[in-house]
Amino acid sequence: MDLQLKGKSVLVSGGSRGIGRAIVEAFLEEGARVSFCARNEAGIHEAQAQFAGETFGQVVDITDAAQVENWVTMSARKLGGVDIIIPNVSALAGGGELAVWRKAFETDLLGTVSFMNAALPFLKQSQAASVVLISSVSGREVDRFAEPYGVLKAALIHYGKTLSLRHAREGIRVNTVSPGNVYFPDGVWGAIEREQPEVFAECLAANPMGRMATPKEVATATAFLASPAASFITGTNLLIDGGLTQSVQF
């Protein structure tokens, strides 16, 4: 299937590793041009050297709205506009302390809002405008990552639906993906496997397909939802969980 992404201008936050990196690679494989950001300069350079395609990397603190706006504006200038944005950064925070909640709120939620606000004027000028928010199954069901991570991921699903209704007549589609357990060696599950093998084995066993997802599997679904091939899909939340969640969707 041709996703009709060739030449499209795509912005991805948190694009140097894990799911974000796989998302960048998925768009590049389809012929899109990608600007990505991350917190770590060394990580950006390493990823940039591995990417095959037209990419631009920049260090950005997603909790700093001014930095986000500067990155989006610079990206639009380099790419000739903005067609698609993927707000991907998460603090992956857990714990009940107020400082932890504040960090997660500023990163997961306000970071996404800042990204959307900065990109909106450019998206309104695109003929293929699309936004895909990265939520989680933790936003649908109470699990070991419930607070503040799951709470804020649930808020992103609501935010995505709100945006989809608000901007539908402007031709801007907004969807959300909710991955289940996604394994990569330097990610959360890689760390749990090394440091808490019994917990890892228990969580792995909870996956009906007998394994966790790969970043590429999440990236492929994200690229499809963002693409013109999904031109009549907006306001949806797509589970990519291998059957991990058990609630019935109506």
Catalytic annotation, residues: 135-136, 149, 153
Which of 42, 37, 41 is closest to 68 using CA atoms? 37
Q: Do 210 and 147 meet the contact criterion of CB atoms below 8 Å apart? A: no
CA Rg value for the chain: 17
Q: How far is CA 192 from CA 93, 142, 186, in A?
A: 15, 19, 10
Q: Name the helix (H) or strand (E) containing 167.
A: helix 149-167
Q: Residues 6 or more apart from 105 whose CB is under 8 A from it?
A: 148, 152
**How many Cβ atoms sit within 10 Å of the Cβ of residue 170?**
11
The encoded tokens of residue 146 equal 């419930």
CA distance 174 to 229: 14
Q: Name the helix (H) or strand (E) containing 42.
A: helix 41-50
